[in-house]
Structure 1
């Protein structure tokens, strides 16, 4: 039976949920172990049929949060979420309505939630978590943060401002489905640099999906030199090694975006026999800081099969 698509409750920059209908049909039909090497919000790994799934991401906070969801009952998680919301006096507009908080849906709930959110953020960053679970605090903070994004500064502190939204019924259902899918899967999480991933564990029917930071785009993961040209070259070398071991892979990336061209990727593809699938790029959650959210971009999926 075909699995119904599950969207991650983590609004990760560059998440691939809206491209799944184009990406998934290009994947191998038979997958033993699926490796989501830069899993982010896990949108791809959640929706791939495989015997086993390995989610990997170098962001320790994402790793810990997803592991927490994997190993915790959803009813208990929801109970704790509402305890945190109550403790920090945050809104639940789906229950009480916008008028209760003296706000309207167009302007959002940021004015009402600001003080409670800043207190929650301060407590989280100070590691004050003796009463409420640390990962519950993190998830609630993400929900009430600007555009539900995840961002930490160089000191490891969550540094996004308050957003316009709150924990609504849609988010609750998305979280429940996410946790249920993780519990159903034979999956594990790891938090290592891709260069340290042990490819010797992979066999013929295993498959690696790679959705790295895009070298030529602007996003939170590229702030402060988060992804360099050397990283790009090392990743492409890593893919060549996979190919040399007859391990199937698929790489998501962009060849061109907003007048920029990824020359490293372009040169690499020119000298390889890999297949390049051009996707219809139109998903607007990649960068909330730009006004032109659906500007044309040459988004591709590269496969070695």
Structure 2
């Protein structure tokens, strides 16, 4: 579309979504595992596998942005400059994928049973190992979620991205979409191994808190950009233009329809109804709320990337010197 950012394509936007959701899903899955243990093993296993798939796909999308993607598979050669945020992020994502995958194997019932038969001590140590890996994975997952925002923030000359509010927004959204992914998995697995009402309520409380936080941070981001004084500098004028693209320009409809209504308001309403209501229909509605959250989270990344207009560095520098 005319007037939109055209340097970054769809691959980074999709990576930002998949990487964040995968990280958030692992953290949400560990909340379920720490609450219910082996009783929710199948749901936790499926959720962790989904997190691995999301992160692995995101890492491949990140590698695709290199000049030589195939060489990027040899990470120790392509990602050796640790002064680069892309290098730091690639290794964090890679480490998260490895830990998540090992955790999936540990909680996988068939693998756990087979190892328990071969090693008498494994059955007693498996839950401890799963918890240790879970804690390590949660730390790595949180780092991945934060990094998805820092990657954009570190790109120079883009006022919409060059703010700490962006990592905050993407981190909260990553946790929100991660909880949504676990809810979808739990819904699909409800007949085989349903979650307890207490755990389901915890997830719903998480949805309410995360959606409210996301709305607040998103509002702060748009107000700070839209309220910039255009006379202050060319960069401020670009910030206002980016905010207008999102709220009232060509990106307004997908922003208000997909991000705000479908991705935030609907999940919030559904979560509140599920917390108050006792009928099974009210709890089943969480599936649709979770789907809305995932669609909205994906749309948010694409909109933020597309609205990231670049300020002319020469004009901005001259303006600052003259000011």
Structure 1 length as normaliser, TM-score? 0.30
Which structure features the higher share of helix residues?
Answer: 2
Max Rg structure? 2
Which structure features the higher share of strand residues?
Answer: 1
Higher relative contact order (CA 8 A, sep 6+): 2
